[in-house]
């Protein structure tokens, strides 16, 4: 159910990409209280990006999940920004995060929906 996509202009080596995927999956599972077996993580290859007129490291994240309460988004933003700062050295003021709550009937999986 939870899906997180990370887009950044930071170049990462293949082993660092794999480690980031694993850590992100665990972080999302823990902070949403959902089993990791349902978490999907996508890390896009580094792309040219500009934020606030600068091409210094930045990131755009999309976090979608069934039953994502608006009351959790501020705490999730803090956790995700700290994570990106720790892992990729991207300051929180250079990160945008889009949160989406998906209806279970609009999320397909295993030939059906939730």
Catalytic site residues? 2
Q: Which two tokens stand for residue 9?
A: 């202009």
How far apart (Å, rounded) are the C-alpha atoms in residues 72 and 53?
A: 30
Q: For 1-114, where are the E strands, in sequence order?
A: 3-8, 40-43, 59-66, 95-102, 108-109, 112-113
């Amino acid at each position: 159910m939870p899906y997180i996509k990370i887009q950044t202009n930071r170049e990462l080596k293949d082993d660092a990409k794999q480690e980031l995927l694993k850590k992100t999956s665990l972080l999302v599972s823990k902070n949403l209280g959902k089993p990791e077996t349902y978490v999907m993580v996508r890390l896009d290859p580094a792309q040219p990006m500009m934020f606030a007129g600068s091409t210094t490291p930045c990131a755009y994240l999309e976090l979608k999940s069934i039953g994502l309460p608006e009351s959790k988004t501020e705490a999730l933003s803090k956790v995700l920004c700290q994570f990106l700062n720790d892992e990729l050295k991207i300051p929180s003021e250079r990160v945008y995060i889009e949160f989406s709550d998906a209806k279970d009937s609009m999320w397909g999986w295993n030939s059906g929906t939730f």
